A = this chain, B = another copy of it.
């Protein structure tokens, strides 16, 4: 009944070698002569041997899993997340790591319950944290636990944590300059979630820019948003139906910008003739819209690759990854912005 699986013992006997030598060949750790190696590999193939990862895990006390932790709500279904995953995969697919997905919004995560489970029970080898909220308490817990960890897509207050993000402030400044150069003076802003550091820095940059240029920010020109299309639509309606009316709107990200565009449509306003609209992210869809969206290009996939590489290197070296990386952003001018008329 029990289809007795082939084990390392079988291979070692087949080859007249010790289990240890077989193990060395398979893990790549340690030195083995080319001849022995070939012998072992041939035997594995002949006997259709497959290493039992579970046993290996217990012995080495490592799971071979990288955890990807992310707030599911809103993020998982977005192109942004797709780019991130693509980047991770580019780096990890050649490695022996698989990845497991964890929702940071689950109560148990921030409670530390899930986390403890991950590290003490599952022995997750490392963690890639995507776009954590700044009130995500668990990050500091992890830093304390000295767990290999890289944060991608947000800047973290705790400076001991390794992090890859982009220059949010620079991006918004570029957008402001672009709109100013087109003659706009009444530029409104739709923000992002207050518990994301990126959203806060983007909004600050907008406020700073206006301040430096001596531009007043009329009441109501800063609308709240939450990085979703729906919030953009609500904010857009508010902005475009009250006085003073902006001639340009900067959205904290592309999804919000899409929502603002929908609101303009709803009001029968022409983009960019009646209102200029700009976003932030440069999602693949930004160029597919009509009109296409002026936005800030953020190298999302590259950020993810960088994050995964940093983690992988640290794991290889047995270290905790560290250091803050900020990627460059660039302005992409498309059809949704034009001279103020």
Binding site for B on A (CB under 8 A): 5, 50-55, 57-58, 61, 63, 65, 68, 72, 74, 76-83, 85-86, 89, 93, 98-103, 106, 116-117, 120-123, 229-230, 233, 259, 262-263, 265-266, 285, 288-290
Contact = CB atoms under 8 A, between A and B. Distances in A.
Count the copies: 2
A65 B5 contact: no
A55 B58 contact: yes
A245 to B, nearest CB: 19
17 contacts: A5-B120, A50-B120, A50-B121, A52-B58, A52-B120, A53-B121, A54-B54, A54-B123, A72-B89, A76-B81, A77-B85, A93-B103, A93-B106, A99-B101, A229-B285, A230-B288, A266-B290
A310 B285 CA distance: 36
Nearest to A6: B120
Given A99-B101, A101-B99, A53 B262 contact: no
A12 B72 CA distance: 39
A275 B61 CA distance: 62
A61 B57 CA distance: 12
Q: Which 5 residue pairs spanning A and B have beta carbons closest together?
A: A77-B82, A50-B120, A53-B121, A262-B290, A77-B79
A265 B285 contact: no
A276 to B, nearest CB: 17
Interface centre among A54, A74, A230 (most CB of B within 10 A): A54
A65 B101 CA distance: 11
A199 B30 CA distance: 52
A123 to B, nearest CB: 6
A100 B288 contact: no
Contacts of A288: 229-230, 233, 259, 262
Contacts of A101: 68, 85, 99-101
Contacts of A58: 52, 54-55, 57-58
A135 to B, nearest CB: 21
